[in-house]
Amino acid sequence: MKNNKEKKYPQGYLITVVVISLIVGGITGGVAGFLTSSIFPSSFTNWLTNPLGITKIINPTESNQNINQQLSGGQAVIMEEENLTTQAVQKVTPAVVSIIVTKELQQYYNFSGPGFPFGDIFSFPFDFNFKAPQQPIPGPKEKTEVGGGTGFIINSDGLILTNKHVVSDTEAEYSVILTDGSRYDASVVGRDPFNDIAFLKIEADNLPVIELGDSDKIEIGQTVIAIGYALGEYSNSVTKGIVSGMGRDIVAGGGGQSEELQGVIQTDAAINPGNSGGPLINLQGQVIGINTAVNQQGQLIGFAIPINSAKTLIASVIENGKIVRPFLGVRYAMLNEQIAEENQIAVDYGALLARGSTASELAVMPGSPADIAGLEENDIILELNGVKLNADNPLSKEIAKYQPGDVITLKIWHDGKEKAVNVELAEFEE
């Protein structure tokens, strides 16, 4: 989860099973019941009918039919959701891993302060005009755990999906801890240049695999569960909430890096430091999002990348052993009514090709597929293969559906007129 440098290790999980109890009692017989309720207070009536205070416990393993017969409608729904929650967590947790970031750091001794290697057992009682060195003295280098995150297994041969910001340090070493406590060295297979997604690989086989859901079918208000190494201390912690919003565009940052994320899922399931890269799942135990960021100024405002955004990359890594990204070669800003009105633009949707803040950040990269096809700065890409581009369907999302070598048709607004342009996508090279 961005906005925080995190660590997480899986060692188990806690599941709270709520057992619902009912007090079953009552006095049989019409007359006796009437007299009792009229003459004696309700507390005394309860004592007469249940002198030992025994509460009937419903066995959680009873059939749903029996539960529904003994519970009111609302309570039955609660019990059913609790059962689905525990089943989903039990299904997914074996495929959730902790990622440990280790780096060789220079150790220092500070002879003028608490870093002095002998502690403070020595002192200088006599004035010899001795001056201890003020600068720390280098000591040996040691491997130190400097961060971590969460990931989940998507292939039984050890392919793991996580956030790019979890494994962004190219000089660090990475290892993975499974739920059974076993630890493996991990290598970074690829970091997605356009999204906060990355892949690790460990040398193992017959591993449990998480089931991928369909994030396009998510509905606001549906129950979701986040699993991760919360605060770098509590492995496979489980939090539960709902989908609070869809299609959010945010700028997430932490540890000196930031990234714009488009079309992410908002949830009130608690996403804590250390949850980055963990799965956001539905009650069927399917991953629908990748926990990525949290708004630290609010409460329970977390964000996850929709899993459908990663499916093309997953297929690419499994097939090619690396991330293969299609490349168009443009810089753009998505238009809406407000932006169009403020800038007196004739259309209020599409991707406006615009340069960045520096001279090198051109709207159209020289030699790119867009350049070869004749696209220019201030052109607006209205549609891609018939799909209208807007906040729900940004250009990056639509481009990601294709492979290098695919030919796409763009509808362009150019100098006040619409025109169609065919473009052959290239492969992105880092």
Q: Which two tokens stand for residue 273?
A: 């430091």
Task: Indicate which residue of 168, 175, 192, 196 is catalytic.
Answer: 196
Q: Phi and psi for 407 in degrees, rounded to 5?
A: -100, 125
Q: Does the active-site annotation cover 276?
A: yes
Q: Which two tokens stand for residue 103?
A: 């780096």
Q: How far is CA 264 from CA 92, 238, 302, in A?
A: 22, 20, 10
Question: Do 281 and 236 touch, CB atoms closer than 8 A?
Answer: no
Task: Indicate which residue of 215, 235, 237, 276 is catalytic.
Answer: 276
Q: Which two tokens stand for residue 248?
A: 């959010």
Q: Which two tokens stand for residue 309?
A: 């955004």
Task: Indicate which residue of 165, 192, 237, 268 is catalytic.
Answer: 165
Q: Does the active-site annotation cover 414?
A: no
Using the structure block, give the residue that is written with the tokens 């994030």. Answer: 215
Q: Does the active-site annotation cover 196?
A: yes
Q: Which residues are catalytic?
A: 165, 196, 276
